[in-house]
Chains A and B, each alone.
Chain A
Amino acid sequence: MLMKLILVSLLLFLVQHIIKVVYLLGFHLHYYQHYPGYCEPIKDMGPGSEDFHTFPDGLTFITSGFAIQNESVHKREYMVKHNMLGRMYLFDFNNNKAKVEELSIVGSNGGFNVKLFHPHGISGWLDKSGKKILFVVNHERLGLDYIEKFEFVPGKKQLKHVKRYRDDTMLLINDVQATSDDSFYFTNFGTGHNPEIKLLQSLALLRWTVVVYYDGSNYRIVLDGMAMSNGIAMSNDGRYIYISNHDARELVVAKREANNDLIIKQGYPLYTYIDNIIVDIKTDHLYIGSHPIKYQLARHLGNPEVYRAPSQVLKLEMKDGNVTGTKELFYDDGDLISGSATAIVFNNKLLIGSVIDKTVICSFHVPA
Chain B
Amino acid sequence: MLVKLVVGSLFLFLIQMVLKTVYYMGFHLHYNEHYPGKCENIDGIGIGSEDFYTFTDGLTFITSGLALQNEPAHKQEYMVKHNIVGRIYLFDFNKNKAKVEELSIVGSNGGFNVKLFYPHGISGWLDESGKKILFVVNHDEHGVDFIEKFEFIPEKKQLKHVKRYRDDTMLLVNDVQATSKDSFYFTNSATDRIQPWWFVMFCRLAWNTVVYCDGSNYKIVLDDLFVANGIAMSNDGRYVYIANIMNQEIVVAERKSNNDLVKKQLFPVYTYPDNIIVDMKTDNLYIGAHPFIYKINQAVEYPDHHSPSQVLLLYVKDGNIKKTRELFYNDGDLITGSSVAIVFNSKLLIGSVLHKTVLCDVNVPL
| A→B interface (CB under 8 Å) | 23, 28-38, 271, 314, 325-329, 331, 365-367
Of the listed stretches B103-111, B157-165, B320-328, name the one at the interface; the rest are far from the partner chain. B320-328
**B312 contacts A32, CB within 8 Å?**
yes
* A271/B30 contact (C-beta < 8 A), A30-B270, A32-B312, A331-B326 known: yes
CB distance from B364 to the nearest CB of A (A): 6
Contacts of A37 in B (CB 8 A): 363-365
**A34 contacts B32, CB within 8 Å?**
no
CB distance from B351 to the nearest CB of A (A): 20
Binary flags per residue of B259-285, CB closer than 8 Å to A gives 1, else 0: 000000000001000000000000000
- 12 A-B interface contacts by CB (under 8 A): A28-B23, A31-B31, A32-B312, A32-B326, A36-B364, A37-B363, A326-B33, A328-B31, A328-B34, A366-B34, A366-B363, A367-B38
**B36 contacts A366, CB within 8 Å?**
yes
- Tell yes or no: B35 within 8 A of A by CB: yes
Partner of B32, one of A23, A28, A326: A326
**B270 contacts A34, CB within 8 Å?**
no
Partner of B35, one of A28, A33, A367: A367
**B35 contacts A366, CB within 8 Å?**
yes
Binary flags per residue of B13-40, CB closer than 8 Å to A gives 1, else 0: 0000000000100001111111111110
Greatest chain A CB density within 10 A among B34, B35, B325 is at B34
Top 10 A-B residue pairs of the complex, sorted by shortest distance between their CB atoms: A32-B326, A328-B32, A365-B363, A30-B270, A271-B30, A328-B34, A34-B326, A327-B33, A38-B365, A326-B32
Query: Given the complex of chains A and B, what is the CA–CA distance between A346 and B34 in angstroms?
Result: 18
- Tell yes or no: B61 within 8 A of A by CB: no
Query: Given the complex of chains A and B, what is the CA–CA distance between A367 and B270 in angstroms?
Result: 26
**B38 contacts A328, CB within 8 Å?**
no
Chain B, interface size category, equals 20 to 34
| B→A interface (CB under 8 Å) | 23, 28-39, 270, 312, 323-327, 329, 363-365
Query: Given the complex of chains A and B, what is the CA–CA distance between A326 and B330 in angstroms?
Result: 11
Contacts of A23 in B (CB 8 A): 28
B interface: dominant SS: loop
Contacts of B33 in A (CB 8 A): 325-328
Query: Given the complex of chains A and B, what is the CA–CA distance between A365 and B327 in angstroms?
Result: 13
In the complex, the chain B residue whose C-beta lies closest to that of A35 is B364
Partner of A366, one of B23, B323, B364: B364
Query: Given the complex of chains A and B, what is the CA–CA distance between A30 and B23 in angstroms?
Result: 14
Contacts of B35 in A (CB 8 A): 366-367
CB distance from B272 to the nearest CB of A (A): 13
Partner of B324, one of A29, A32, A314, A327: A32
**A33 contacts B34, CB within 8 Å?**
no
Contacts of B312 in A (CB 8 A): 32
CB distance from B247 to the nearest CB of A (A): 14
**A34 contacts B37, CB within 8 Å?**
no
Contacts of B326 in A (CB 8 A): 31-34, 331
Contacts of B364 in A (CB 8 A): 34-37, 365-366
**A34 contacts B363, CB within 8 Å?**
no
Query: Given the complex of chains A and B, what is the CA–CA distance between A32 and B268 in angstroms?
Result: 12
CB distance from B31 to the nearest CB of A (A): 7
**A34 contacts B30, CB within 8 Å?**
no
Other 16 A-B pairs with CB < 8 A, given A34-B325, A327-B34, A367-B39: A31-B326, A33-B323, A33-B326, A34-B326, A34-B364, A35-B364, A36-B34, A36-B364, A37-B365, A327-B33, A329-B34, A365-B363, A366-B36, A366-B37, A367-B35, A367-B37
Contacts of B37 in A (CB 8 A): 365-367
Contacts of A32 in B (CB 8 A): 312, 324-326
* A33/B325 contact (C-beta < 8 A), A366-B364, A367-B35 known: yes
CB distance from A300 to the nearest CB of B (A): 20
Contacts of B38 in A (CB 8 A): 367
CB distance from A108 to the nearest CB of B (A): 45
CB distance from A36 to the nearest CB of B (A): 6
Query: Given the complex of chains A and B, what is the CA–CA distance between A38 and B363 in angstroms?
Result: 10
Contacts of B34 in A (CB 8 A): 34, 36, 327-329, 366
Query: Given the complex of chains A and B, what is the CA–CA distance between A35 and B29 in angstroms?
Result: 21
